[in-house]
Amino acid sequence: MTDKSPTRVSINLGSRAYDILIAHKLIEQAGTRLAQMFPNARFGIITDSEVEKAQLPRLVTALEGAGLEYTLISVPHGEAAKCYDRLSEIVDAILEARLERGDIILALGGGVIGDLAGFAAAIARRGMAFVQIPTSLLAQVDSSVGGKTGINSKFGKNLVGAFHQPKLVLADLDVFETLPQRQFASGYAEIVKYGLIDDEDFFFWLEKNLAEILSGGPARAEAIARSCQAKARFVIADEYEQGRRALLNLGHTFGHALEAATGYSDRLLHGEGVAIGMMLAHRFSARMGLAPGQDITRIEHHLQNAGLPTTLSDIPGELASTDKLMHHITQDKKVTRGRLNFILTRGIGKAFIANDVEPDEIGKFLEEMRTK
């Protein structure tokens, strides 16, 4: 153990409560922590081909040092792994390894692995416990927290899944040493999101501390902790996204449509889609007379300084037609009886749920944005 205790963020959900631990060297400590928390359990590590090279040796050393038994299940790296075929492979591998209902699945990876492994844990043997060990910034501040798990469908992103809370989240700050800068920036979009939803002071703090966050100074750990605390607030208040938790989808309806239209490829990472989506949400809000133009300029400047795209024209390659984008938008989970549920805003820190947005208005708006 290190001398400095981890920052702890608690997700207080009664019998489903768990902690997020944030610190350096947490993967090295994983064996000891897991042995104490899950005595006599065996472990199934689910990871991807890139994380397997970068982070798996640290976890294996920790598990073996604590005398823990494990099975390794690895899938190809990338968003395309969030599919029925890979899910089936993982569940079959869990069963083939004779992992029992009382054993533990370890999700070692970014958001894709967390979603995929969590969903596999939710359905294998009708439900197994799992632990999130997120290895990307996006996963540490967003997807590893809150219990959303799932895969993509040909009809859209994350349309098949389950709410399945982890038993523990180990957010190791050392994983960023091997994380490409583009991936780090992608995760940063989710941090900015928390400020834009309902915490104007946090957004201003991010503006002031961006350089230190990007370089790995103390502000980075604080930004992660504050983001996890923000996510915890929404999850505790609305675990199954029946109301206020939907605010966490700021920028995501647009972003998911853009991801689908680019084939869930490296053309557009998830956080990049969210960054463009948040700008589109703010610009559409301004078009509706809701948000002030100066806020839009300020947000765009901050995202660009973080290395994120902000317009449709920033996406490499030919952009899908507006009709294609609208097809993906209307397949989104945030549609009720054909009416669009969008997260709009009245300015920085003033997001709200709009339950009855006209699809035609969104279509006209996207057509205009294609040339800007």
Q: Give me the active site residues, please.
A: 126, 148, 190, 231, 241, 245, 249, 252, 256, 270
- What is the predicted pLDDT for the residue at 371? 82
CA atoms within 13 A on the CB side of 188: 29
Per-10-residue mean pLDDT, the chain, length 372: 77 96 97 98 98 98 98 96 97 98 98 98 98 98 96 91 98 96 97 98 98 96 97 95 93 95 94 98 96 95 98 96 93 66 95 91 95 80
Q: Which CATH number goes with the domain that contains 131?
A: 3.40.50.1970
- What is the predicted pLDDT for the residue at 1? 38
- What is the predicted pLDDT for the residue at 2? 43
Residues 297 and 338 in one domain: yes
What kind and span of H or E run contains 324?
helix 322-330
Q: What residues contact 90, with CB distance under 8 A and at least 6 apart?
A: 46, 73, 75, 116, 117, 120
Residues 40 and 141 in one domain: yes
pTM: 0.94
* Domain termination residue (choose one: 125, 155, 178): 178
Residues 195 and 216 in one domain: yes
Q: What residues contact 26, with CB distance under 8 A and at least 6 apart?
A: 6, 133, 170, 171, 172, 173, 174
Q: Which two tokens stand for residue 325?
A: 């984008």
Residues 36 and 101 in one domain: yes
CB atoms within 10 A of CB 257: 27
Domains in the chain, number: 2
Residues 70 and 98 in one domain: yes
Residue 2 included in any domain: no
Q: Which two tokens stand for residue 91?
A: 């569940």
Enclosing domain of residue 94: 7-178
